[in-house]
Amino acid sequence: MDQQSVERLTDRQKDCLRLVARGFTSKEIGRLLELSPSTVDNHVTAAVQQLGAANRGAAARALADLELGQKLPSQPQHLAQSRRTAILATETGGTNWSRNALQLLAPPPVGGKHNDLDGTSRTLRILQVAVLATASVIALTILVSGLFRTFG
């Protein structure tokens, strides 16, 4: 794979490969680019063949390597995610406590991906949704009662 083969890729093929590199499925890429999943698959397959890659992940890594001008490591998703979280905490000056608190306040991911959480993590996510829902209901109740007292 070289710079010339990457330059022959269409813009749509590059867009699809960039999203593949970020871990999106064909269905999710289709939603983002307003294409059908089969069209996304066609773009990705053509790009894989053009680059001579073994699979879509290898093609996405090759594109990223050439665009960034450096060799990117291949590592499992959970390691990449934990490293990214640690980098964000370091950059923002956050501590482990503040990072964990922010993760609890963030809404959980929605739909489309297989749930590969273990039992404890799944239970914590369920509790997180329950706490956020309860807090939302309490805030809405306070807001409505305040409006009634103000205008009633």
Helix H, strand E, coil C: the string for 109-127 is: CCCCCCCCCCHHHHHHHHH
Give the pLDDT score at 137: 94
Tell me: pLDDT of 94 over 80: no
Q: Give the three-class secondary structure for 9.
A: coil
Tell me the mean pLDDT in the region 75-82: 51
Give the pLDDT score at 92: 47
